[in-house]
Amino acid sequence: MYQDKVVLCASSTYNKKFWMNDDFKMLPEQIKQELKIMCVLFTEDIGGVLSLEFEEDGTLVFHVDSEESDYLYDDIGSILKIKQMQKEKAELLEALELYYKVFFLGEDASELL
pLDDT of residue 51: 97
Q: Where are the alpha helices (DSSP H) in 1-113?
A: 29-46, 75-88, 90-103, 109-112
pTM: 0.92
- 61-100: per-residue pLDDT in tens? 999 999 988 888 989 999 999 999 999 999 999 999 999 9
β-pairing, 6-12 with 60-65? unpaired
pLDDT of residue 19: 98
pLDDT of residue 110: 83
Helix %, strand %, coil % for the chain, to 5? 45, 20, 35
Closest CA to 96 of 83, 79, 112: 112
- 29-73: per-residue pLDDT in tens? 999 999 999 999 999 999 999 999 999 999 999 999 999 888 889
Closest CA to 50 of 84, 11, 18, 21: 11
Q: Please give the Cα distance from 64 to 70 (Å, whole number).
A: 13
For the CA atoms of the chain, what is the radius of gyration?
A: 14
